Structure 1
Amino acid sequence: MIHTFHLTEMPAAVTARALLRPPSGTTTPGLDHAECLALMRLGAPTVSPGRLQLRRIAVFAQWRDEDAVDGFLSDDVLGRHLATGWHVRLEYLRRWSRLAALPGLPARAGDWDRDEPVVAVTVARMRLPEVPRFLRWGKPVERQVRDHPGTTLALAAFRPPRTISTFSVWRTVREMEEMVHGRSDLPAARRHADAMVERRRRDFHHEFATFRFRPLSEHGTWAGRTGIVPLS
């Protein structure tokens, strides 16, 4: 099993088709599940061009093996678009909570060094009446992660009407964990921890899961950048 996270720019019509009809195991050999989402700029105003970018797509996927990933990128219409962008291949390590779409993932699948790079992905299905409250608590956390010196890339993505995801690449597990628990000297260090307390008090989501991964390999470029994943 391997996971991937992809970013690319492509025509808005192609993104719209992917949002409406994402690839599945019945259409794509070796694919267990894929989440296709339009990018959002972290911290952007709620109603703004930066909040939903239909020409920029993110895809988070679980595969049986790397041969399935390579076949998708070379043979599938959406895959060929994604092959022109950037992606990272990931080794699954841990989850908090679970998604019905990914039922077989154990709570923990490996060990890690606190000084190695790490990738975090969250996927949530929103309770629509809770969206205003979620934005009030979530947007300060978006800015916290976006501006954190420990991240080399941080973004969010959305698939209407209720799926939202975040993706972040961290220089070290240590820096990510300090942010999560509010244990640093950085300004507003408690934003994420306080938002999690509020979520436990009254959940924003129908379902919500956070996944931790070890980056295995990085491919292509994003926004003119390479080397987004720090060297361990």
Structure 2
Amino acid sequence: MSVFTYHLVKTNYFSAFKILLFPLKIKNTQGLIHAEIMTAMTLGSPIFSPSRMLIRQIAVFAQWENENDIDIFLNKNNFGKILSKGWHTRLTFMRKWGKFNKFEIPDETTEFENPDSPIVAVTIARMKFLEIPRFIHWGRPVEKLVRDHPATTLSLASIKFPNTVSTFSIWKTQKEMTDMVHGHSKVPKPKRHADAMKERDRKDFHFEFTTLRFKPISEFGEWNGQRNIIPHLKNN
């Protein structure tokens, strides 16, 4: 079974631009099925603000044949060595909604054994350019809902120009995340996510879109001075 990873690293401007302009060659990387390399963003921040686009912060969402290939990449590949200085989590796929090309995402769904176990959610989409203003209108309230939710331990967005956008969030429990999705959270304006999904169903914002849920296997390194970001995991 393949393994997914999500990486976060802060670097200098030169390295960040180099990484984005000359991305990793997937076919030359042992065991790498696909990777999306993006610039991190702050969820819910104003569109035109320094905190919206965090140029020095790189986010990578990747799928691998196995964990050994991940270790080789982080220890021997030049880009992997940069990522190894940051934080990452390794993930087992559980279920999906929608479709996104290039990743080999299984059709089978695996249920979580314990509804109180931590869960990682990733969304990734390729935007329709003319729908971007409408997407921002409906999307920013959802970003704020996820960012400020007491059940998340880490949440952020990312972008790859011209039109790939993604979100990443770690939830303390599966139940708290599904409550948020369905508008049952005990927070102000709890139906922001459900309302946005209804609007997307009415008229899609995207060429392709998927929501993925994962069981975290492990986490490595630190992010913004924090370790042990995912509850109840072996950490390295």
* Same fold (TM > 0.5): yes
C-alpha separation in 1, matches of 2:112 and 2:177 = 16
Q: CA RMSD in A?
A: 1.3
Asked whether 1:162 is paired with 2:163, we answer yes
* Cα shift at 1:27: 1.7
C-alpha separation in 2, matches of 1:107 and 1:10 = 37
Give me the identity figure in percent: 47
Identify the residue that residue 175 of structure 1 maps to in structure 2.
Answer: 176
C-alpha separation in 2, matches of 1:9 and 1:159 = 16
- Letter of the aligned partner of 1:179 in structure 2? M
Equivalent residues of 1:24, 1:31 under 8 A apart: no
* Cα shift at 1:58: 0.4
* Cα shift at 1:25: 3.3
Moved more, 8-17 or 200-209: 8-17
How does the TM-score come out when normalised to structure 1? 0.96
* Cα shift at 1:104: 4.3
1:56-71, aligned counterparts within 5 Å? 56-71=57-72
- Letter of the aligned partner of 2:133 in structure 1? P
Instruction: Give unpaired runs (5+ residues) of structure 1.
Output: none
Change (3 A) 1:23 1:146: same
Change (3 A) 1:55 1:199: same
Identify the residue that residue 206 of structure 1 maps to in structure 2.
Answer: 207
* Cα shift at 1:152: 0.3
Equivalent residues of 1:24, 1:32 under 8 A apart: no
Residues 129-183 of structure 1: CA deviation (Å, up to 9, x unaligned): 1111101000010000000000000000001110001000000000000000101
Residues 35-66 of structure 1: CA deviation (Å, up to 9, x unaligned): 10001011111011111111001000000001
Identify the residue that residue 33 of structure 1 maps to in structure 2.
Answer: 34
Instruction: Give unpaired runs (5+ residues) of structure 2.
Output: none
C-alpha separation in 2, matches of 1:111 and 1:142 = 25
- Letter of the aligned partner of 1:139 in structure 2? R
Identify the residue that residue 117 of structure 2 maps to in structure 1.
Answer: 116
Equivalent residues of 2:33, 2:104 under 8 A apart: no
Identify the residue that residue 148 of structure 1 maps to in structure 2.
Answer: 149
1:191-202, aligned counterparts within 5 Å? 191-202=192-203
C-alpha separation in 1, matches of 2:5 and 2:104 = 17
- Partner SS for 2:219: strand
* Cα shift at 1:20: 3.2
Residues 81-127 of structure 1: CA deviation (Å, up to 9, x unaligned): 10000000111111111111124422414443211000000100000
- Letter of the aligned partner of 2:44 in structure 1? G
How does the TM-score come out when normalised to structure 2? 0.95
Identify the residue that residue 93 of structure 1 maps to in structure 2.
Answer: 94
* Cα shift at 1:21: 3.6
C-alpha separation in 2, matches of 1:18 and 1:125 = 20
C-alpha separation in 1, matches of 2:189 and 2:106 = 33
C-alpha separation in 1, matches of 2:210 and 2:15 = 27
C-alpha separation in 1, matches of 2:113 and 2:162 = 36
Equivalent residues of 1:121, 1:210 under 8 A apart: yes
Identify the residue that residue 217 of structure 2 maps to in structure 1.
Answer: 216
Asked whether 1:50 is paired with 2:51, we answer yes
Equivalent residues of 1:96, 1:107 under 8 A apart: no
C-alpha separation in 2, matches of 1:18 and 1:126 = 22
- Letter of the aligned partner of 1:5 in structure 2? Y
